[in-house]
Chains A and B, each alone.
Chain A
Amino acid sequence: MLVEGIKSRPVYRGLTIQPRARRHIFALEGEGAHALLDRKTELDETARSRSEILYLGRGSQGKGHDEALRKLGADMFFTAPTIATLLFRLKGTLATAHMGTRLYIAGTEGFIGQAMIVALDNGMDHASIITEHRGSLARRVQCVHCKGITEDVTHSPFACSHCSLPLLVRDHYSRRLGAFQGVNVDAEEPGSAPDPEELFL
């Protein structure tokens, strides 16, 4: 039921360490920890001394990477209990940051989208932010009707957690909201919604 070829669908190109950056900030959620751990050989002494790692353990495969990340020997390491805590810390870091600071975000799409909003609010250009999608394909979806946001959506159509309308999850993405758009699927004939399919596991 997905419409193919929608341009706003984000592309996550994968973590590449920017050698000339004066400061590296890694915002990692769950399995996103692997995105950095897999590249630890690229993190030389200089890069490590300029790095700040913010980590949130989340999901069955995404917990317990604290020790491995801490051992990387970054200048600063912070573990957050929730996404909100991590984003608050990220906000503080970026508010006083300088040009030459590069941001790397890895984890689920919902997390990348929310961390991206913080970065955009601090004047960063979205194309300059380095991202890698790791972990679940679950989506963060905005209901275009009631504007409510539902996290971790794995099925389409699904019932909006705010207004209960059955929503078709589109590839249409809003960078401002960090969410995909969900559109009522049976508006013409209520009750005719197709069976939900598990599309984003």
Chain B
Amino acid sequence: MSGGTEIPVRVTKVTMVADRIKRFRFERLDGRPMPYFSGGAHVIVSMNDNGHVRRNAYSLMSPPYDCSAYEISVLHVEDSRGGSSFMHEKVREGDEMRVSHPVNLFHPDWRGRKHLLIAGGIGITPFIAMMEQFSREGAHFELHYAIRTRDRGAYCEDLVASYGPHRVKIYCDAENNRIPVARLVDGQPLGTHLYVCGPTGMIDGVLKAGLEAGWPQQNLHCERFLSTPPGKPFTVKLTRTGKTIHVGHHESMLEAIEAAGVDAPYLCRGGACGQCETRVTACEGKLLHNDIYLSDEEKAAGQKVMLCVSRFEGAALHLDL
């Protein structure tokens, strides 16, 4: 298995936590403890939908030192490619599933003197585990959490109750409250690190505000949940295995390659980690990279592609796989 060995688990609890948001609790089938993880980590959940396997990344939100189970929260996305719909409509308590070992691409910088967390909507999940860890370690942190409406905001009351209103601030769109980002990044003590997770527009806005306030990029961190954007179907030829793969409208190249029985490398499945980087041996057409791993120069050179989020439009694409 390219993404590392998977852990067979049972869904022991499904909880509706807010409008369109469910929490799932996974315990190991063999009764052994789950591996410890660190705040900000995610797992890849494999969903077997009548033989069609989907794999989505979800941030772990249970306490990092609690190895009795893993918990994730899933938003039922409006234009779901299938993953969040499957989790919401098909998964029941008692079901058996598989999750990967945890991977952390959004870990706090522990040298920081203060941690400023900015969450939008379901982007709250990695911060829930992080705050558990900060609080246990006695680290200085502050959460600014933007939600659309009160009934769609998960865990608002719980978080305020756990950490206090001085550390957890909720901003509700429907009540005309916005995170005052420019004011927040101005006047933070030296050694503060900022972390943002939420919709793309919000992440871009927050990072830009940080840079404009003179923050070095080393102190600005983000996690984007990229999913493969749907697009025109295309065909890709794998030169090493000799297979020709058809990638459908709502499918990612990685998913189509896996469905054809080819063991391709992956880790985050969201265009961030670079694990699925693959060499392009021939390309007559246009690569739609979509990832945030390759530099602009590398993207323009067109020699590498990320199987998890990139697409293609044109006559022929050959990959070294």
Number of interface residues of A (CB under 8 A): 19
Taking CB as reference atom, which chain B residue is nearest A128? B216
Interface residues in B201-224 by Cβ distance below 8 A to A read 211-219
Q: Is A125 an interface residue (CB 8 A)?
A: yes
Q: Which of A26-34, A98-106, A192-200 contacts B (4 or more CB under 8 A)?
A: A98-106
How far is it, in angstroms, between the C-alpha of A77 and the C-alpha of B102 when the chains are bound? 51
Q: Which of A20, A21, A97, A127 contacts B190 (CB 8 A)?
A: A97
Least CB distance from A47 to B in Å reads: 11
B216 touching A20 by the CB < 8 A rule?
no
How far is it, in angstroms, between the C-alpha of A97 and the C-alpha of B112 when the chains are bound? 14
Q: Is A22 an interface residue (CB 8 A)?
A: yes
Q: Which of A20, A124, A127 contacts B214 (CB 8 A)?
A: A20
Chain A residues with CB under 8 Å of B286's CB are none
Chain B residues with CB under 8 Å of A120's CB are 111
A124 touching B213 by the CB < 8 A rule?
no
Q: Which of B186, B190, B212, B217 contacts A123 (CB 8 A)?
A: B190
Q: Is A174 an interface residue (CB 8 A)?
A: no
Least CB distance from B189 to A in Å reads: 6
The size class of the interface chain B forms with chain A is 20 to 34
Interface residues in A90-118 by Cβ distance below 8 A to B read 94, 97-102
A125 touching B216 by the CB < 8 A rule?
yes
Instruction: Decide yes or no: A101 and B219 within 8 Å by CB, A122-B191, A123-B112 being known contacts.
Output: no
Residues of chain A touching chain B, judged by Cβ–Cβ distance below 8 Å, are 18, 20-23, 94, 97-102, 120, 122-125, 127-128
Q: Is B167 an interface residue (CB 8 A)?
A: no
Taking CB as reference atom, which chain A residue is nearest B216? A128
Taking CB as reference atom, which chain A residue is nearest B217? A128
Return the CB mask of B290-303 against A: 1 if under 8 Å, else 0.
Answer: 00000000000000
A99 touching B185 by the CB < 8 A rule?
yes
A99 touching B215 by the CB < 8 A rule?
yes
Least CB distance from A21 to B in Å reads: 4
How far is it, in angstroms, between the C-alpha of A169 and the C-alpha of B307 when the chains are bound? 47
Chain A residues with CB under 8 Å of B113's CB are 122-123
Q: Is B188 an interface residue (CB 8 A)?
A: yes
Chain A residues with CB under 8 Å of B219's CB are 99, 125, 128
Task: List 8 contacting pairs A-B, 8 Å CB cutoff, sorted by A.
Answer: A20-B214, A98-B188, A98-B189, A99-B190, A100-B185, A102-B216, A128-B217, A128-B218
Taking CB as reference atom, which chain A residue is nearest B114? A123
Chain A residues with CB under 8 Å of B189's CB are 97-99, 123
Chain A residues with CB under 8 Å of B215's CB are 99-100
How far is it, in angstroms, between the C-alpha of A20 and the C-alpha of B214 when the chains are bound? 5
Most buried by A among B111, B112, B190, B191: B190
Chain B residues with CB under 8 Å of A97's CB are 189-190
A123 touching B111 by the CB < 8 A rule?
yes
Q: Which of A18, A100, A122, A125 contacts B186 (CB 8 A)?
A: A100
Q: Is B85 an interface residue (CB 8 A)?
A: no
Least CB distance from B137 to A in Å reads: 15
Least CB distance from A115 to B in Å reads: 15
B213 touching A100 by the CB < 8 A rule?
yes
How far is it, in angstroms, between the C-alpha of A101 and the C-alpha of B213 when the chains are bound? 9
Q: Is B235 an interface residue (CB 8 A)?
A: no
A99 touching B214 by the CB < 8 A rule?
yes
Instruction: Decide yes or no: A18 and B218 within 8 Å by CB, A123-B191, A124-B190 being known contacts.
Output: no
B218 touching A99 by the CB < 8 A rule?
no
Taking CB as reference atom, which chain A residue is nearest B185? A99
Chain A residues with CB under 8 Å of B217's CB are 128
Least CB distance from A9 to B in Å reads: 20
Q: Is B192 an interface residue (CB 8 A)?
A: yes
Taking CB as reference atom, which chain B residue is nearest A101? B190
Interface residues in B191-246 by Cβ distance below 8 A to A read 191-192, 211-219
Return the CB mask of B155-169 against A: 1 if under 8 Å, else 0.
Answer: 000000000000000
Chain B residues with CB under 8 Å of A22's CB are 186, 213-214
Least CB distance from B118 to A in Å reads: 14
